[in-house]
Amino acid sequence: MASRGRHLVRADRGFATGGGLLARLSAPAFSRVLDQLDARLATGGIDATLPDGSPRRLGFRAPGPEPIVHLHSWMALVRLATSGSVGWYKAWELGEWASPDPVVLFELFMANAVALGDTARAKGVFRWVNRAAHALRDNAPGKARENVAAHYDLGNDFYAAWLDDTMTYSAARFASPLPPAGGVGGGDVEDSQALPPTPSRWREGELEAAQAHKIALLLDRLDLTPGDRLLEIGCGWGSLAIAAAQRGASVVGLTLSAEQKDWADRKIAEAGLADRIEVRLQDYREVRERFDAVASVEMVEAVGMRWWGAYLDCIAGNLKPGGRAALQFISIASPLFERYASSADFIQTYIFPGGMLLDEPRFEALARQRGLSWHDRDGFALDYAETLRHWRERFDAAVARGALAEFDDRFHRLWRYYLMYCEGGFRGGGIDVAQVTLTKG
């Protein structure tokens, strides 16, 4: 039996997912959650089928996403009302609800997140339990390596099976206009847990080109000249470090993933750049050097709110006066941040232990306090949605051809749900990804 990735499938141990005998006995009473959703959906609507087979339409006051949802058990609403996105995933995994296209449902929830308030978030003791469980995963120096390993040390073969050839695991930038929104589709398909691979709408090599374009745009912000020293905080599998070295820079890349370092070292050697790039298995808080520039792509979301200041101290402390840092980061809309930060969501529970999206104004203020200006911000949320669609298509194809047979079906479903959940979040507008330039005064 496949066992790789089982630690993520079981990651909700210690978290509240809304189950239990009392919950089951009282489940039908939670039908009132539908009334709350109906009253608070400002845009779009849900075509629902209830456990008894009757239809129910929720919302539809203004144009917006219109998902179809089949409620197979009232327990799905219990989990949603008490444990938010953690419980909603658990309900999906247990077959208590299904949809032909969950991406559209997640888009709807995000588009209406302010109006929904706490309707779809963990409450009461469930919120405190999940918040406490998340706090135990804090990215203190002794814990950060374990948290990173939980996600990134699933194996290089795992990521190579569905990422593009550059092994870039962050939002791409597409040069051509983006296609319209929409998920996996298939109007007669009720259960999205085991969808077949969808035919790709993308030209061969388009994702690789978009990732190269993203890296080039980030490096352009740094005005690197031959011989400049670049620190990359969170170097992944080395694609940005290689591109920077090809521009003549000398690069120090940091990672806490042994798997990533092994892959990056091999690719760097194959590119003939071992004399220009050093990949270190080192925490960013340990670096005390001087660099002309700093780059960091979607690393700060992994450090946790408690460590935002330390992350920015690393940039300010290691950057020469007048030097530049280029960041790519994921943020959640400020009106949503307090509720989001008060518990733990699906991503923090199952996918990225210790993670936290940025509240951009708060993070920018911390940067300015450290003498780092904040300018030329460029957001591209829909590009991330399309990147995630790419990954989902490639992931499903990898599962179909048996490339991920060492991971069981529960893990396949978890990962597919993760990719759909994130895609819907970016399409719904409450989550953004951006590049920004910081300059040390």
Q: What is the pTM of this model?
A: 0.90
Same domain, 47 and 143: no
Task: Identify whether the C-beta of residue 91 lies closer than 8 Å to the C-beta of residue 30.
Answer: no
pLDDT score, position 182: 47
Mean pLDDT of the chain: 88
CA-based nearest residue to 383, from 441, 330, 304, 323: 330
Cα dihedral sign, 346-351-354-358: negative
Same domain, 313 and 234: yes
Same domain, 280 and 378: yes
Same domain, 143 and 75: no
Same domain, 155 and 68: no
pLDDT score, position 130: 52
Could you give phi then psi for residue 278, rounded to 5 degrees? Answer: -120, 120
Going by their DSSP bridges, the two strands 45-49 and 55-59 should be labelled as: antiparallel
The answer to the question of residue 188 being in a domain is: no
pLDDT score, position 138: 65
pLDDT score, position 265: 98
Same domain, 101 and 162: no
pLDDT digits (tens, 9 = 90+) for 385-402: 999 999 999 999 999 999
Which ranges constitute the DSSP H helices of 183-330? 206-220, 239-246, 258-270, 308-318
pLDDT digits (tens, 9 = 90+) for 277-311: 999 999 999 999 999 999 999 999 999 999 999 99
Band the pLDDT of 26: cuts 50, 70, 90.
low
The answer to the question of residue 185 being in a domain is: no
Same domain, 101 and 232: no
Same domain, 371 and 288: yes
pLDDT score, position 354: 84
Average pLDDT over residues 346-367: 93
More confident: 123 or 377: 377
The answer to the question of residue 372 being in a domain is: yes
Going by their DSSP bridges, the two strands 319-332 and 431-439 should be labelled as: antiparallel
pLDDT score, position 225: 96
CA-based nearest residue to 249, from 240, 259, 262, 236: 240
The answer to the question of residue 161 being in a domain is: yes
User: Which residue bears the tokens 């990651």?
Assistant: 11
Sheet with strand 431-439: strands edge to edge: 277-281, 250-255, 229-233, 291-297, 319-332, 431-439, 375-379
What's the number of domains the chain is made of? 2
Going by their DSSP bridges, the two strands 277-281 and 68-71 should be labelled as: unpaired
CA geometry: angle at 326 spanning 418 and 245, to 5°? 100
pLDDT digits (tens, 9 = 90+) for 187-225: 334 555 544 444 455 567 899 999 999 999 999 999 999
The pLDDT of residue 2 is above 70? no
Cross-strand partners of 379: 434
More confident: 271 or 23: 271
Same domain, 217 and 324: yes
The answer to the question of residue 127 being in a domain is: no
The answer to the question of residue 67 being in a domain is: yes
CA-based nearest residue to 396, from 236, 183, 190, 148: 183
Going by their DSSP bridges, the two strands 277-281 and 375-379 should be labelled as: unpaired
| Residue 199, helix vs strand vs coil | coil
The pLDDT of residue 1 is above 70? no
pLDDT digits (tens, 9 = 90+) for 215-264: 999 999 999 999 999 999 999 999 999 999 999 999 999 999 999 999 99
Same domain, 162 and 99: no
pLDDT score, position 16: 63
pLDDT score, position 64: 97
Which helix (H) or strand (E) segment holds residue 334: the answer is: helix 334-341
Domain CATH code at residue 28: 3.30.1050
More confident: 84 or 25: 84
Q: At what angle do helices 102-111 and 409-428 cross, to 10 degrees?
A: 40
320 CB neighbour count, 10 Å cutoff: 13
Domain CATH code at residue 406: 3.40.50.150
Band the pLDDT of 18: cuts 50, 70, 90.
low
Cα dihedral sign, 191-196-202-206: positive
pLDDT score, position 8: 81
Same domain, 151 and 115: no
Domain range for 333 is: 139-180+195-441
pLDDT score, position 117: 85
